[in-house]
Amino acid sequence: MFTKPAPPSKSDGIIIVGAGIFGLSTAIHLAERGYTNVTLLDKNPYESTLYSYLNGCDAASADINKIIRSAYGTQTIYQNLSLHAVEAWDAWNQELRDGGAAVPPGMSSEDVLWINNGDLSVTDADVLPEFESSSIKNMEKAGYADTQLVNNNEAHLRLAEEKGFSARMNPFYKKLLGVMDTTGGIALADKACRFALHKAKRLGVHLFLDSNAGNVLSTIQSPTGKVVGVRTADGKIHNAALVIVACGGWTPSLVPSLDGMAETTAGSVVIFKIPESSPLRQRFAPDNFPAWAFKIGDGPEAGLYGFPVDEHGLLKIGYRGTKYTNPRVQPDGQERSVPITRWSQDEQIRQIPAQAVKVIRMFTNVYLPELADLDIWLTRLCWYTDSFDNQYIIDHVPGQEGLMVVTAGSGHAFKFLPTIGGWSWQWRSLKEGEAPFNKLMEGSKGKRALRYVSML
């Protein structure tokens, strides 16, 4: 590939742009490894907006909940990393429970960052998909037998009973065949980010979270072209030996050398609000209802995932059957997909692809009919960066000394918040003859461009 530069020395300035999970985890791991001059910048004032979409945050990380699972089919590297991440999530929960300085402002030691209520992957077919059978086999091989429980298998249902998972094995109105990953569950995304941010701060990471002081306008380059810092909207210059771009859905348009390797796409999210007095609060509580996925890789007529209700009565269902793009011509003349995260207030409720609502309603009408009479309370397009092979990109940018990217979560990175800052994923390109997992950069020629999509 290319020669990697030597790592910076422990006192060198390191700037991380973006305080979503990639930036947070990177900051924490650098500080824990003894880097003493780490600065985290974001234009969102997360210490007051608290990673809430309802408070104006629009990063994918700023969310109410995300799925945690270790079942990864044949991708045993991710399986291993997830099992390790779950241990780290447990440790974070414990750290919070212990109270004291680890508790972020506005949170308490009674809060939890993740709930081990399981992730149930279901199908309407009568045999398990290859992915699920592989997960069962590979978890067993790794020493995690009896963690993947098939919901129509008597022996597994007995195990579910022993493990306290019974109530969640068949949570739908009509039976759907599936596998419960009992190592999984949900991360309470916003709280987890608040905890991580507070942890970074306690570890001595300098924070600039502000629409001016944290808003990076450009990088600064030395006469030889090395990136040596950034300029922010308040006119300040921050010098650094290394600048790390962790800007989520905005990353591909900021780092053009990602062309062909990563692209931002939208997931479609709907949220129902369950009234406090409704018995559905209990029905969909995490004790009774797991994280779930329905035919997640099966194309535009499927690709759903969902969550239990949160403490405010919000119940979220997402659609990834089509990964929408928003191609726009960039200053260099190249079309790149960029996030549109919000419309004006009165439009907001209806700006979601009609296809997403159709597939969600088709599913809820049959399998969660309790939701059929409820209006959708909020919709959101959640912008992720996908890579062509659905794997992350955490590496130096070739040909651009002083610059790294941490990106391409591809919709499955949040669960690694506690650990991903310790890892790298090599820069690469699609090999000749290799079929991409995600087809990238179809631009305005592609059917997934939002401008061609009918919205509701």
- Name the site residues for ligand NAG (rule: CB under 6 A): 80, 83-84, 142
Nearer to ligand NAG, 147 or 387 (CB): 147
Residue 225 near residue 218 (C-beta atoms within 8 A):
no
Q: How near is the Cβ of 83 to ligand NAG at its closest, in Å?
A: 4
Nearer to ligand NAG, 83 or 220 (CB): 83
Q: How near is the Cβ of 143 to ligand NAG at its closest, in Å?
A: 7
Q: How near is the Cβ of 86 to ligand NAG at its closest, in Å?
A: 8
> In angstroms, rounded to a whole number, what is the distance separating the alpha carbons of residues 46 and 193?
9
Nearer to ligand NAG, 78 or 363 (CB): 78
Structure tokens given for 220:
């600064």
For residue 118, the surrounding DSSP H or E stretch is none
Nearer to ligand NAG, 325 or 419 (CB): 419
Q: What are phi and psi of 406, to 5 degrees?
A: -130, 100
Q: How near is the Cβ of 36 to ligand NAG at its closest, in Å?
A: 30
What DSSP designation does 227 have?
Answer: E
Structure tokens given for 417:
């918040």
Nearer to ligand NAG, 41 or 85 (CB): 85
**What's the CA dihedral at 208, 22, 377, 295 to 10 degrees?**
170
Instruction: Return the closest-CA partner of residue 187 out of 73, 21, 75.
Output: 21
Q: How near is the Cβ of 142 to ligand NAG at its closest, in Å?
A: 5
- Cβ contacts of 70 within 8 Å, gap of 6 or more: 79, 82, 83, 86, 139, 144, 147, 181, 183, 184
- Cβ contacts of 387 within 8 Å, gap of 6 or more: 261, 262, 393, 408, 410, 438
Nearer to ligand NAG, 387 or 419 (CB): 419
- Cβ contacts of 152 within 8 Å, gap of 6 or more: 175, 177
Q: How near is the Cβ of 120 to ligand NAG at its closest, in Å?
A: 22
Residue 109 near residue 98 (C-beta atoms within 8 A):
yes
- CB neighbourhood size of 257 (10 A): 15
Q: How near is the Cβ of 223 to ligand NAG at its closest, in Å?
A: 46
Coil, helix or strand for 394?
Answer: strand
Q: How near is the Cβ of 140 to ligand NAG at its closest, in Å?
A: 12
Q: How near is the Cβ of 146 to ligand NAG at its closest, in Å?
A: 15
**Bridge-partner residues for 315, per DSSP?**
272
What is the chain's Cα-based Rg? 22
Nearer to ligand NAG, 83 or 456 (CB): 83
Q: How near is the Cβ of 68 to ligand NAG at its closest, in Å?
A: 14
Nearer to ligand NAG, 84 or 273 (CB): 84
Nearer to ligand NAG, 80 or 330 (CB): 80
What DSSP designation does 455 have?
Answer: B
Q: How near is the Cβ of 77 to ligand NAG at its closest, in Å?
A: 9
Coil, helix or strand for 23?
Answer: helix
Nearer to ligand NAG, 73 or 327 (CB): 73
> In angstroms, rounded to a whole number, what is the distance separating the alpha carbons of residues 228 and 230?
7
Nearer to ligand NAG, 82 or 151 (CB): 82
Report strand pairing: 335-337 vs 378-387: unpaired
Structure tokens given for 75:
């991708």
CA-to-CA dists, residue 40 to 13, 137, 174, 393, 452, angstroms: 11, 41, 48, 19, 37
Q: Residue holding tokens 């094995």? A: 169
User: Which class for 105: exposed (0-12), middle (13-18), buried (19 or more C-beta within 10 A)?
Assistant: exposed
> In angstroms, rounded to a whole number, what is the distance separating the alpha carbons of residues 248 and 386?
10
